[in-house]
């Protein structure tokens, strides 16, 4: 053994960092081991073309929990989040466009250009969705009741049930529907015009390999609305300095609390004896002894670190579903895109919003079907953000960087094809898709970095390329995340915990799994001290 600590955290993603901060605050001696050279996991900012930096994977903020921001003093460590001027801009097939967000009245004016009825229904839509989002918000910081657990878990189940039970019947019906039906069914009930349905329906396919017509897709839509920016519910924003600014602020807080962070070192194996985790072996063979081990890695990656621990517990982890069918690309741009639907190359508010190239739910359904048949969508769904319009630290003066988030690109391609052969072809299809709406786009690209699902797995350990550490389906949520029987952050070995997005409440840059997991670790430490 070369080292000893109270808690060894595997991985320094934002949840690992958050967890480590809370553990250190409770007086534990914490060591973190991160395989990459930089902390942050999927929330990092890196140079991808000489002189051009951008968020590498995760690219926009909303879900980061206000308690985590406060407790970890992220603002004091320099984190600034700038709200988008409005949420989304959608160029449409017929040369028109729709802008959503920036206040109810502005959105109603926009939607009213397509349907007066839809514009009138908007206030009730937002209000009803917000009631259900509030239910989720209320559960975020709770540890889910563990199936087969003891008295604590019965109390947690009662508490969660009590909150749901307090809702009016209409809201209970909405909860049931939003957890089970398709986004298309949900939106069809509310609206008649295609552009507004596309705008809201896009959230249902972000990181979700599914058609918006698939049962369960309405939940993914809901998952994207429980956040807030600077106190404004449901808003999305740009972290100045990219998403790495969040995790660098967390790193500073962790170090201030005495956490030892080792980068460029991978964990090869969790050491187990008599059903208890007691340390790890690193890739270089060094061992670190620990009173407990907390994993920020994907649940199936953790399974691999436990290859010498047999048992029936392995099967549900092996079946844990993990594929979001996402391709992520950063581009360095000589100039801003000029949209046919809203001409002009000078920076305008729509350039700082989420630009969605997916004009209808039918388009999204076709993108899914073509990926299912051929491996990836020839006409993909693309969201583009251009953070350099609000942040001059990312690109040289006059130039820009854009984040392209694209669906659907399967992890495993059919007919023996490989991502190493098709990466550039798929990236070209994405560029073509943006160029359909902004003809100067292709010619303005100075450089690009493409991350296929395979690259996301290789680079960040995201098994199957899943951006959320596993699908957000009903069978993998709340008490069932990652698997039923381990919904309370405690893994199958005593002293082994999961603090990453594979635990409740799932993916997104929230800091919540890390926050909640730390509470359970500290609870167990207190019990140990008493016994
Ligand atoms: C392309 C993409 C786009 C996204 N966009 C957004 C977005 O805009 N907004 C949003 O809120 N969310 C977004 N997400 C989701 C969000 O980024 C993730 O859910 C979140 O960052 C995961 O954080 P985490 O701390 O749980 O895990 P991770 O960030 O995955 O961190 C896990 C860490 O563990 C390390 N690790 C794994 N195994 C080992 C080992 N054996 N030894 C040592 N270290 C190990 C990894 O290197 C990694 O650093 C996106 C994700 C991706 C991939």
pLDDT of residue 1: 47
Residues lining ligand 1, CB < 6 A? 10-16, 33-36, 41-43, 57-60, 63, 266-267, 296-297, 301, 305, 326, 328, 405, 456, 460-462, 467-469, 500-501, 507-509
Token pair listed for 77: 């460590």
Q: Which of 18, 226, 467 to mutate to test the pocket of ligand 1 (most atoms within 8 A of CB)?
A: 467
Token pair listed for 190: 């509310």
**Cα 13 to ligand 1 centre (Å):** 6
pTM listed for this prediction: 0.97
3-state class (DSSP) for residue 352: helix
Q: How far is CA 462 from CA 324, 342, 405, 467, in A?
A: 10, 37, 16, 7
End-to-end CA distance of the chain: 27
> Among the atoms of ligand 1, which is closest to the Cα of residue 499?
26
**Cα 471 to ligand 1 centre (Å):** 14
Q: How far is CA 124 from CA 108, 120, 348, in A?
A: 12, 8, 30
Which runs of E-coded beta strand occur in 274-352? 276-282, 287-295, 326-333
pLDDT of residue 162: 87
Q: Which residue minimizes the CA distance to atom 50 of ligand 1?
A: 58
* Backbone CA torsion sign across 75, 40, 313, 7: negative
Neighbours of 373 (CB within 10 A): 9
Q: Rounded CA gap, 361 and 204, in Å? A: 10
173 phi and psi angles, rounded to 5 deg: -65, -40
Q: Rounded CA gap, 146 and 489, in Å? A: 9
Q: Which of 31, 42, 469 to mutate to test the pocket of ligand 1 (most atoms within 8 A of CB)?
A: 42
Neighbours of 189 (CB within 10 A): 11
Q: Which residue minimizes the CA distance to atom 21 of ligand 1?
A: 42
Comparing C-alpha atoms, which of 60, 41, 74, 47 is closest to residue 394? 47
Q: Which residues contact 373 (CB under 8 A, 6 or more apart)?
A: none
Work out whether strand 88-91 and strand 354-357 pair parallel, antiparallel, or are unpaired: parallel
pLDDT of residue 531: 66
* pLDDT tens track for 57-82: 999 999 999 999 999 999 999 999 99
Neighbours of 527 (CB within 10 A): 9
Q: Which residues contact 81 (CB under 8 A, 6 or more apart)?
A: 61, 64, 229, 230, 237, 238, 239, 240
* pLDDT tens track for 482-514: 999 999 999 999 999 999 999 999 999 999 999
Helices (H) and strands (E) in the chain, counts: 17, 20
Burial track 453-485 (b if 16+ CB lie within 10 A, e otherwise):
bbbbbebbbbbbbbbbbbbbbeebbbbbbbbeb
**Cα 299 to ligand 1 centre (Å):** 12
Q: Give Cα 208 distance to the centre of its chain.
A: 11
pLDDT of residue 2: 56
pLDDT < 50 positions in the chain: 1
Q: What's the CA angle centered on 227, arms 224 and 230, to 5 degrees?
A: 140
Please tell me the number of Cα atoms within 13 Å of 298 on its side-chain side: 26
- Tell me the sheet residues that pair with 5: 290
Q: Rounded CA gap, 373 and 431, in Å? A: 22
Q: Give Cα 60 distance to the centre of its chain.
A: 9
**Cα 370 to ligand 1 centre (Å):** 27
Q: Rounded CA gap, 161 and 93, in Å? A: 45
282 phi and psi angles, rounded to 5 deg: -85, 165
* Backbone CA torsion sign across 245, 14, 460, 479: negative
**Cα 500 to ligand 1 centre (Å):** 8
Asked if 60 contacts 237 with a C-beta cutoff of 8 angstroms, the reply is: yes
Q: Rounded CA gap, 370 and 221, in Å? A: 22
Work out whether strand 354-357 and strand 3-10 pair parallel, antiparallel, or are unpaired: unpaired
Asked if 387 contacts 242 with a C-beta cutoff of 8 angstroms, the reply is: yes
Q: Which of 11, 271, 326, 497 to mutate to test the pocket of ligand 1 (most atoms within 8 A of CB)?
A: 11
Q: Which residue minimizes the CA distance to atom 53 of ligand 1?
A: 467
DSSP symbol at 75: T
- Provide Rg for the chain, Cα atoms: 23
Q: Which residues contact 413 (CB under 8 A, 6 or more apart)?
A: 375, 376, 419, 422
Q: Which residue minimizes the CA distance to atom 16 of ligand 1?
A: 508
Asked if 213 contacts 465 with a C-beta cutoff of 8 angstroms, the reply is: no
């Amino acid at each position: 053994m070369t080292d000893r600590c109270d808690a060894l955290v595997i991985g320094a993603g934002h949840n690992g960092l958050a967890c480590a901060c809370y553990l250190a605050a409770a007086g534990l001696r914490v060591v973190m081991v991160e395989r990459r050279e930089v902390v942050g996991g999927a929330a990092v900012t890196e140079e991808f073309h000489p002189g051009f930096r951008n968020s590498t994977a995760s690219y926009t903020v909303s879900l980061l929990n206000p308690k985590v921001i406060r407790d970890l003093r992220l603002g004091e460590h320099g984190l600034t989040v700038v709200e988008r001027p409005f949420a989304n801009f959608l160029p449409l097939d017929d040369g028109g466009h729709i802008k959503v967000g920036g206040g109810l009245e502005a959105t109603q004016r926009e939607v009213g250009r397509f349907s007066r009825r839809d514009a009138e229904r908007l206030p009730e839509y937002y209000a009803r969705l917000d009631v259900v989002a509030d239910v989720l918000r209320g559960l975020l910081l709770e540890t889910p009741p563990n199936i087969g657990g003891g008295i604590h878990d019965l109390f947690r189940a009662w508490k969660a049930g009590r909150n749901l039970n307090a809702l009016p019947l209409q809201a209970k019906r909405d909860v049931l529907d939003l957890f089970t039906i398709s986004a298309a069914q949900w939106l069809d009930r509310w609206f008649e015009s295609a552009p507004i349905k596309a705008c809201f329906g896009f959230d249902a396919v972000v990181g979700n390999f599914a058609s918006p017509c698939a049962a369960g897709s309405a939940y993914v839509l809901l998952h994207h609305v429980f956040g807030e920016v600077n106190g404004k519910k449901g808003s999305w924003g740009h972290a100045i300095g990219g998403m790495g600014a969040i995790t660098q602020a967390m790193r500073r807080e962790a170090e201030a609390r005495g956490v030892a962070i080792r980068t460029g070192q991978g964990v090869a194996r969790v050491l187990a004896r008599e059903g208890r985790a007691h340390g790890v072996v690193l890739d270089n063979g060094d061992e670190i002894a620990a009173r407990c081990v907390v994993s920020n890695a994907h649940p199936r990656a953790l399974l691999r670190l436990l290859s010498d621990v047999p048992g029936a517990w392995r099967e549900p982890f092996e079946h844990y579903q993990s594929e979001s069918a996402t391709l992520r690309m950063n581009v360095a741009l000589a100039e801003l895109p000029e949209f046919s639907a809203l001409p002009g190359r000078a920076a305008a508010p729509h350039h700082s919003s989420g630009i969605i190239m997916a004009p209808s739910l039918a388009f999204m359904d076709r993108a899914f079907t073509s990926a299912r048949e051929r491996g990836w969508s020839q006409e993909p769904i693309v969201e583009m953000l251009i953070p350099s319009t609000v942040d001059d630290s990312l690109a040289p003066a006059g130039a820009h960087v854009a984040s392209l988030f694209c669906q659907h690109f399967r992890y495993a391609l059919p007919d023996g094809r490989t991502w190493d052969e098709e990466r550039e072809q798929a990236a070209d299809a994405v560029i073509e898709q943006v160029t359909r709406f902004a003809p100067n786009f292709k010619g303005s690209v100075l450089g690009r970095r493409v991350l296929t699902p395979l690259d996301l797995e290789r680079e960040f350990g995201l098994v199957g390329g899943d951006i959320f550490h596993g699908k957000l389906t009903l069978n993998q949520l709340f008490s069932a995340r990652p698997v039923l029987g381990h919904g309370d952050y405690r893994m199958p070995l005593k002293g082994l915990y999961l603090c990453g997005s594979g635990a409740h409440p799932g993916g997104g840059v929230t800091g919540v799994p890390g926050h909640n997991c730390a509470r359970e670790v500290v609870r167990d430490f207190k019990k140990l001290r008493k016994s």
